Amino acid sequence: MTLTNQEVKVDPFTIEIVKDSLIAIGEEMFHALARTSMSPIIYEVLDYASGLTDSKGQLLTQGNGVTGFIGMLTFMVKETLNKFGEEELKEGDIIIINDSYVGGGSHLSDVGLVMPIFHEGKIIAFSANKAHWTDVGGKDPGSFSNDATEIYQEGLQFPCVKLFDEGKLNQAVLDIIKSNIRFPDLSIGDLWAQVAALRTGEKRVKELCEKNSAEVVQASIDHHLDHGEQMARKELAKLPKGEFTAEDFVDDDGFGNGPFPIKVKVTITDDKFICDFRGSHPQVPGPVNCTYTGLVSAVRTIFLAATNPSQDVNDGVFRPLEIITDPKSILAAERPAPVSIYWESMQGGADLVWQALAPSLPDRLSAGQLLSVCAVTLSGEHHVTNEPFLIVEPSAGGWGAAKGQDGARGQFCIGDGETYNVPVEVAETRYGVMIDEYSLRTDGAGAGEFIGGAGVTRAYQAMTDKQMVSATFGRNKYFPWGLNGGDEGSPNEFIIEKVNGETDGPFGIYPRYPLNRGDVVKLMTATGGGYGNPINRPAEQVAKDVKNGYISIQKAKNVFGVVVNEDNFSVEELIGRGN
């Protein structure tokens, strides 16, 4: 006789052991993918996520490079179940999916794989991952075009199809991929790395079932999800109750249209955390739209930050969270709206929730940050090998100050999470560029009792003719917001410094700007917003800021009311500081 999950009695020690084993499996899958991938965007930048779900598609554990992928694995697995059902899924199947509207949640470059894990003929779990491929075809190198007008221009679409059928490779799908992407060795190599990570997860889950029995594992999974919900509700009870609102704008869509208003009403009750985005702008012609699944993943990040950011992530945690949108809005786009640079509206939606709650949660949420991924793709011919190259990279920037602390300097936006730049040495070896500068952008913005974190400047010099750079630097017109009397930060922007001495820009979004040998593209990211009245910043700290180059002597005097001696950086006089 087979016991039901409710009838299985598992001691608390076993529950914790199995739970921690599941988390460890997710981490092992994460590292397996990085160590076997071919592209710097994966093994250096960590633009991917991997994890496990239960048999219904509920997230159990996830190893993250990109925070914005929280939740997307769930939607991938649930779409797999919707399409095939448990009866059509067989042991050894691997499904490939990047459909932005139902199972992907981001742009087509983020390719997902899903694998059912069987034990004694039944699905016990799914292993899944999602990784940014260097190229998936489409009209532009790198695929996420910032002037696409429909999804079909953005690359290959994998509509939840079997890449492996009972362990047998679908060679036709692989041949189609090879014939439609610009760097097949890189992307196919990354595909095999994803497969290896899935099989690692499958192997470990089967070992867990053999050691503890499927019934015990399932009971532990149920407990794990329920415990996640209990922990979230415990923290939810501590939050201020009521309605909190915010409004902001997405700058433009790459075609000069905009700005596009977006809005949210956050309602917090004893048992619900409701984010209502209705009234935001309809989906737009350019590719700044995001889909509902993308918005859900972004809002989950802020929900965690407001409740318990150290909590292990699973779908039980998000049971109190409800997200409402208008259909076909810029925050819930539908086919065939372009979504290549979806992060501008996706992060904009998350930032609205952040902005609405920050005044009431100063110990949890900071002032505004750079928001945008500030993505750059740069392609051309390598000056040594004469082979084509392609840079695909996010940019670091400044975070907002918070109660009791200055903003973090040179960090990635909240959606990028624990990602990295390609190191200078790797970039100069693999690509046809020289990196002339990589420094903090000390523009002095974000003044406050606690100052906003500095953005960065990163400059690429072209080493050959006929290179092309496309960059998407949102939050270019509407700057990071200050908090509790702090000043706003500075914009994300980039300029082109030509070898003949001319300068072009600054720009926010620009597709395929031509570069010749000696031309430089200078990427400059935002300084975060400040917290508190600048006059309240200790004078000695203002003098240190001047010495460190974060602010100028003039700004110290005019904004902070401190006269600093330019010879020894001591405080000479206080101006307009009252008592």
pLDDT in tens, 303-322: 998 998 877 788 999 999 99
Instruction: Answer whether 407's CB lies under 8 Å from 398's CB.
Output: yes
- In this structure, which amino acid lies at residue 551? I
CA 507 to chain centre: 22
Question: Is there a domain that residue 551 lies in?
Answer: no
| Nearest one of 373, 322, 308, 310 to 346, comparing CA atoms | 373
pLDDT in tens, 364-422: 999 999 999 999 999 999 999 999 998 888 899 999 999 999 999 999 888 777 777 78
Same domain, 193 and 47: yes
* Cα–Cα distance measured from residue 34 to residue 41, given in angstroms and rounded to the nearest whole number: 10
Predicted local distance difference test score (pLDDT) of residue 421: 79
Predicted local distance difference test score (pLDDT) of residue 5: 45
* Cα–Cα distance measured from residue 22 to residue 364, given in angstroms and rounded to the nearest whole number: 29
Instruction: Answer whether 452's CB lies under 8 Å from 534's CB.
Output: no
Listed in sequence order, the residues at least 6 apart from 166 whose beta carbon sits closer than 8 Å to its beta carbon are 90, 91, 92, 93
pLDDT in tens, 503-533: 998 999 999 999 999 999 999 999 999 999 9
Q: What is the mean pLDDT of residues 116-122?
A: 94
Strands 509-515 and 455-462: unpaired
Question: Is there a domain that residue 320 lies in?
Answer: no
Question: Is there a domain that residue 344 lies in?
Answer: no
* Confidence check: pLDDT of 264 > 80: yes
pLDDT in tens, 529-577: 999 999 999 999 999 999 999 999 999 999 999 999 888 888 888 887 7
The widest CA-to-CA distance across the chain, in whole angstroms, is: 85
Predicted local distance difference test score (pLDDT) of residue 144: 83
Predicted local distance difference test score (pLDDT) of residue 165: 96
Predicted local distance difference test score (pLDDT) of residue 577: 74
* Cα–Cα distance measured from residue 327 to residue 324, given in angstroms and rounded to the nearest whole number: 9
Q: What is the mean pLDDT of residues 82-91?
A: 92
State which residues form the domain around 400. Answer: 365-536
Q: What is the mean pLDDT of residues 456-485?
A: 95
Question: Is there a domain that residue 182 lies in?
Answer: yes
Helices 292-307, 72-88: crossing angle, 10 deg rounding: 120
Domain boundary among 210, 229, 248: 229
Quick one: DSSP state of residue 102?
I
Predicted local distance difference test score (pLDDT) of residue 8: 56
Domain boundary among 165, 197, 229: 229
* Cα–Cα distance measured from residue 261 to residue 276, given in angstroms and rounded to the nearest whole number: 14
The fraction of the chain above a pLDDT of 70, given in percent, is: 98
| Nearest one of 350, 352, 353 to 239, comparing CA atoms | 353
* Cα–Cα distance measured from residue 269 to residue 260, given in angstroms and rounded to the nearest whole number: 30
Predicted local distance difference test score (pLDDT) of residue 67: 73
Q: What is the mean pLDDT of residues 262-284?
A: 96
pLDDT in tens, 25-36: 988 999 999 899
Report which of residues 22 and 483 the model is more confident about.
483
CA distance from start to end of the chain? 80
Q: Name the band, by pLDDT with cuts 50, 70 and 90, for residue 578.
A: low
Question: Is there a domain that residue 308 lies in?
Answer: no
Predicted local distance difference test score (pLDDT) of residue 80: 96
Report which of residues 72 and 173 the model is more confident about.
173
Domain count, the chain: 2
Question: Is there a domain that residue 110 lies in?
Answer: yes
Question: Is there a domain that residue 37 lies in?
Answer: yes
Q: Output the six-digit token pair for 133.
A: 């491929």
Question: Is there a domain that residue 469 lies in?
Answer: yes
Predicted local distance difference test score (pLDDT) of residue 46: 83
Domain boundary among 211, 229, 247: 229
Predicted local distance difference test score (pLDDT) of residue 1: 36
Q: Output the six-digit token pair for 510.
A: 């620009």
pLDDT in tens, 345-371: 999 999 999 999 999 999 899 999 999
pLDDT in tens, 206-253: 999 999 888 889 888 998 899 899 999 999 999 999 999 999 999 998
